[in-house]
Amino acid sequence: MVSTLFLVCVLQSYQPEPQSIEVPDMIVVPEIDVLELTPEMKQFLDEHVGHVKNPGARLNRLIWVVFNNEFLNLTYENTNTKTAAETFEERSGNCLSFTNMFVAMSRYLGFKVAFQEVSNVPTWDKHGNVVVLNRHMNAIVFLGGRQFPVDFNPDAVVDDRTSRIVSDRRALAQYYNNIAAEKFGQGKRHEALAWFKKAVEIDGKISFAWSNLGVAHQYTGNPDKAEACYKKALRVSRMEMTAMNNLERLYSKTGREELAEKYRHKVMRFREKNPFYQYDQGRKAFDRGAYQEAVTRFRKAIYRKPKTHEFHHMLAAAYHKLGKDAKAARSLREARGLAPDVFNKDRYSQKLETLAKK
């Protein structure tokens, strides 16, 4: 499960032409109370939880009604960040959405509860030609001198050493950052720029939000502002790898190799953990006929993100070029099983049939 979106870098060779247009004045970013409860939410809590007086039992009851499909039947959606009210009404959202809802509900019932950033469960995703690093958010309830984490991702392994309690203000800034990232992925670059600006206005100490704002500036034709934002991100956190990565690419693109080299070695390990970087390098190796190197890269990509059907498809292609058709067939079957649509499933089935005839 993910929460905060980090626009990291562009890995494909194609990049849209930047547009040198300032953010139109008509783009007004609204003030949003992400923790506001609707009358329906209050009624739901009063009816299903309010009668329980013992604090421990009340917390258990709240967790039960939130997680049990008999009551809310929540559905996780990777990219949709919502307020508490929207999450309750639509019964869906990502982990920041669910955490917004749980924090709001818990406080209504009298609990002391806070947001918690979790840094050790990052995942990578791709929207168009932008790679996104997703991180995690959950809630912490304070009761009887103890802390009880409430997590909407049952698979998340939370390490206390990489988790920290954050303020409502920081969580609100992350909400605006997420919405901005979603708009960016939809191609609404100037709207995204306005929402990223709002995020850093709310909390200027979020390094990745500054890096994201830099990406938005870069894509809307302001490389100087982008550079300034990346540098600001590094002043906030000198280990903000997304900013280093973006600076290195900006300097490389603009011919400032000496500056690019300054960051290149620092970001290499960061990139090596990015499955889409591995995939991109694998495609390049494949195109120049280095098929064994391509296999190594595609396998690394699969290790980091095993359910991406394109990774398995290209691994199959590389195995086929090496004459390892049994392994190619196995990878194609994996790709077919993971494909989300009929078109790709049929495409992989046809490739399997062709392979079987050889």
| pLDDT tens digits, 279-303 | 888 988 999 999 999 999 999 999 9
User: Which tops the pLDDT comparison, 161 or 311?
Assistant: 311
Structure tokens at 81: 């960040």
Q: Which residue is listed with tokens 């079957």?
A: 333
User: Which tops the pLDDT comparison, 157 or 67?
Assistant: 67
To the nearest whole number, what is the mean pLDDT of the chain? 85
Calculate mean pLDDT across residues 216-239: 93
pLDDT of residue 159 exceeding 80: no
| pLDDT tens digits, 185-200 | 888 999 999 999 999 9
Burial environment of residue 28 by CB neighbours within 10 A (0 to 12, 13 to 18, 19 or more): exposed
User: Any idea what DSSP says for residue 161?
Assistant: G
pLDDT of residue 20 exceeding 60: no
Residues 6+ away with beta carbon under 8 Å from 87: 74, 93, 97, 98, 100, 101
| pLDDT tens digits, 24-59 | 567 889 999 999 999 999 999 999 999 999 999 999
Closest CA to 99 of 171, 6, 49: 171
Give me the domains of the chain, ranges plus CATH numbers.
Answer: 5-247 (1.25.40.10), 275-356 (1.25.40.10)
Burial environment of residue 33 by CB neighbours within 10 A (0 to 12, 13 to 18, 19 or more): exposed
Rounded-to-integer distance, Cα 233 and Cα 168, Å = 21
| pLDDT tens digits, 298-341 | 999 999 889 889 999 999 999 999 999 999 999 999 999 998 87
Closest CA to 99 of 4, 200, 199: 4
DSSP string, 8-44: EE--SS--PPP---PPPTT--PPP--TTPPPHHHHHH
pLDDT at 161 (0 to 100): 46
Rounded-to-integer distance, Cα 213 and Cα 218, Å = 9
